[in-house]
A and B are shown apart, each in its own frame.
Chain A
């Protein structure tokens, strides 16, 4: 500690919980409480199963993901447990290779969105006045583009790329996160201990990190959880539209797009990646919801 005689953190001052301060309590206790529910455990199990597949998959795949090994759209059985895709590549091998990009892209996008949203939201709330107005109107401008359209706008000019796509999704998430952070930070910034810290001339960065951020950590965790789920959805959709990883590569969203025309003949090349995306969405959503519930957000507000 830097010798700042911070008044007792009001968050710690109420260890019993309940009451309005319940929502302000964050960090590990909340996460711990969240994962103890059956719902969250089921979600975590789903995520762990898919995670294992993503991590181990590339090492146990029987074929290279882009190798043409058989006739197109062969049914399951024999050498190809899930059949072959529209170009004659092994569906199982592509499935085992195809989650890596989705995972890191979604994590990067969500992390970037939460980070940028925090910076903008906290700055706007702390500075107030003109800075607040300008920042939040700028966020309104970004918010006017549906996420996918926003990404397409830049991809059209800058060319496509996995890194670019995930950064753009992160930027597209920023306004939503910044609104939540700003809303949660305003009462904290108006509280006595923050006013005290500001009056004593502590640098803004330190006040925000030490005093304000802990007060908004609960809504932030809820937001981060939901953003991660939405990032999976957005990245998978962009990949499906053809704006993720380049074609010979394997990716679940891309696999769905590639094999859609063969759906009537061979459903597995489409339905297998669809099932995995469904598992991620279901698992992630169950976990994110139980975090939200343990933080005390009312139901129904997504």
Chain B
């Protein structure tokens, strides 16, 4: 096994770089991109032309108040020092205090991250198996009524805003039509989300519906591709039973191709979480960011957005990496 140094010194033309090296390269670029993300976030919120302290406090604030806030946010320091303090604070959990209620940002954002994670994870656990079953079933009976209905409904869902789906579910299950579920998912601070299973049903259903429509469609496409591949056609020609071809040949291929899509769906779910939380007043990161934006609570907003963006990027990166791994199989 050649050492990494000899490899970098002699880039071989023609042959692709080793998968491990490509993965490492991609991860390093990923870290670099995340650093740039944090820099952009910092520059926008803290160094935009105009006095941030003045924007936060409004027009009526006295000069003393503005000066005080400038000092609390560290705006009087050089920009590089500000960024360094802010980033190291973010990484070590010393994120400053909320301007809204003076609580440490970590205490405000921490439980919210947990709640959002519970919502997203709960949805993904449902999305992946359901999408695989739906995708394979519709691809297997291609052009049947079921398949056509799924294709039509799923393409509508990719165009629908999440709040429209949420609102229809509330109207169906939480009002006079079928008053069986709570339409508001407030969970008292300090309590764990799964102590309130009824409150979780509608938000998770909304995210699951949207995720299944998206991922199911991708699984269907990759399963159709797999069934058309030479490898599977060969198995059919050899006279293997339909069931055997389906489970031993087509399915593993389709799953390998569909796996990166699961990463994408996780990323899409993170976007959905923001709106869906707001629809059901669920105390997660999304609602925290929305209310922080409304109240100009800069430190909470910075931390919330950084976490959302990092998670979103990480899942996109995961999808990329899975795609590379899948291609090398």
A interface vs B, CB < 8 Å?
A: 137-138, 140-141, 143-149, 152-159, 229-230, 232-234, 236-237, 240-243, 253, 256, 260, 263-264, 267, 270-271, 274, 277-278, 281-282, 284-285, 289, 298-302
Contact = CB atoms under 8 A, between A and B. Distances in A.
B127 interface: no
Contacts of A278: 160, 164
Nearest to B271: A146
A157 B274 contact: no
A282 B274 contact: no
A133 B221 CA distance: 31
A229 B160 CA distance: 9
B7 to A, nearest CB: 21
Interface in B158-172: 158-164, 167-168, 170-171
A141 B164 contact: no
Contacts of B224: 300
Contact of B312 (A144, A237, A256): A144
Given A156-B293, A277-B160, A289-B155, 9 more contacts: A144-B310, A154-B44, A240-B161, A241-B275, A263-B170, A263-B175, A274-B167, A282-B159, A302-B155
A-side interface mostly: helix
Most buried by B among A137, A146, A277: A146
Contact of A149 (B36, B163, B305): B305
B290 A241 contact: yes
Contacts of B45: 153, 156-157
13 contacts: A149-B309, A152-B289, A155-B293, A156-B45, A156-B298, A157-B48, A157-B55, A237-B162, A240-B163, A240-B275, A264-B176, A300-B220, A300-B222
Interface of B: 29, 32-34, 36-37, 40-41, 44-45, 48, 52, 55, 151, 155-156, 158-164, 167-168, 170-171, 174-176, 183, 214, 217-218, 220-222, 224, 267, 270-271, 274-275, 278-279, 289-290, 292-294, 296, 298, 301, 305, 308-310, 312-313, 316
B294 to A, nearest CB: 7
B171 A146 contact: no
A285 B215 CA distance: 18
Nearest to B167: A274
Nearest to A280: B159
B161 A236 contact: yes
Contact of A153 (B29, B33, B167, B305): B305
B217 A300 contact: yes
A156 B296 contact: yes
B37 A256 contact: no
A160 B175 CA distance: 33
Contact of B278 (A149, A153, A241): A241
Contact of A281 (B36, B159, B175, B301): B159
Contact of A277 (B37, B164, B222, B301): B164
A302 B279 CA distance: 26
Nearest to A230: B159
Contact of B44 (A157, A282, A299): A157
Contact of B305 (A141, A152, A236, A241): A152
A302 B296 contact: no
Contacts of A140: 29, 33
B47 to A, nearest CB: 10
A49 to B, nearest CB: 17
A220 B64 CA distance: 54
Nearest to B273: A146
Nearest to A301: B221
Nearest to B216: A300
Nearest to A140: B33
A153 B312 CA distance: 15
Nearest to B45: A157
B294 A141 contact: no
B214 A146 contact: no
Contacts of A242: 290, 294
Contact of A145 (B170, B175, B290, B312): B312
A144 B167 contact: no
Nearest to A156: B293
Contact of B159 (A155, A156, A240, A284): A284
A302 B158 CA distance: 8
Most buried by B among A233, A271, A282, A284: A233
B312 A146 contact: yes
B155 A152 contact: no
A158 B161 CA distance: 25
B171 A229 contact: no
B286 to A, nearest CB: 9
Given A156-B301, A157-B44, A271 B171 contact: yes
A278 B157 CA distance: 10
A267 B52 CA distance: 41
A141 B37 contact: yes
B80 to A, nearest CB: 19
A76 to B, nearest CB: 15
Contacts of A298: 221
B163 A285 contact: no
A149 B274 contact: yes
Nearest to B304: A149
A242 B55 CA distance: 19
Contacts of A143: 313, 316
Contacts of A138: 36
B161 A285 contact: no
B167 A145 contact: no
A137 B274 contact: no
Most buried by B among A143, A241, A285: A241
